[in-house]
A and B are shown apart, each in its own frame.
Chain A
Amino acid sequence: AQSVTQLGSHVSVSEGALVLLRCNYSSSVPPYLFWYVQYPNQGLQLLLKYTSAATLVKGINGFEAEFKKSETSFHLTKPSAHMSDAAEYFCAVRVYNQGGKLIFGQGTELSVKP
């Protein structure tokens, strides 16, 4: 079965500091992985995706993630945090079947201090 684990339910950084949100996956087949962001009282917005092409994936708002098969990780990073990055971030893996449902991690709430 496929799953994702997000380490750290809450991460706090200062404005301008590096953002690192951790995601580890479990999958017996090459995974399709996604990061979504959820701003307060809003839906889920796709940040970036990994679909077995380049291992370093660039997304919107300056975020990127690196797929590391040896570490079964897909951590999300941003070199310099902005106040507007404060949100909940979800890592997800697509299940490899006809339906293709997403299995989400528990989410990481990112706080950005001025």
Chain B
Amino acid sequence: EPEVTQTPSHQVTQMGQEVILRCVPISNHLYFYWYRQILGQKVEFLVSFYNNEISEKSEIFDDQFSVERPDGSNFTLKIRSTKLEDSAMYFCASSHGQGGNYEQYFGPGTRLTVT
């Protein structure tokens, strides 16, 4: 069964460093998302991406964040200068988004620890 994959599973970085989180969505899906979950809190939306552009972003998704689909399979989230408060689990999700197929399938997540 197709699944969303994410790498790395765990990333430790120092404050101020750049990190890139990688995701491979399900191959025939058209919509891509990043969410994050700070420890003990609910899952929060960061950004959605469709047709090679951002379709929506949250207040969290400021200028330090960017997303890219560099090729036909990968979807990346870049944080330019990490802060302590960026420590969280980051989930990638994808959805077909057409014909009523709106359910989002999530990857296993990348745990980002900023020290």
Contact = CB atoms under 8 A, between A and B. Distances in A.
A98 B56 CA distance: 8
Interface string A72-114: 0000000000000000001010100111111111110000000
A102 B104 contact: yes
A86 B31 CA distance: 31
Interface in B41-97: 42-45, 48, 50, 55-56, 91, 93, 95, 97
Contacts of B48: 99-101
A42 B37 CA distance: 12
Q: Looking at chain A, what size class is its interface with the partner chain?
A: 20 to 34
Q: Looking at chain B, what size class is its interface with the partner chain?
A: 20 to 34
Contacts of B31: 99-100
Contacts of A103: 45
A44 interface: yes
5 contacts: A32-B102, A34-B104, A98-B50, A100-B48, A102-B33
Interface of A: 32, 34, 36, 42-46, 49, 51, 90, 92, 94, 97-107
Interface of B: 31, 33, 35, 42-45, 48, 50, 55-56, 91, 93, 95, 97, 100, 102-109
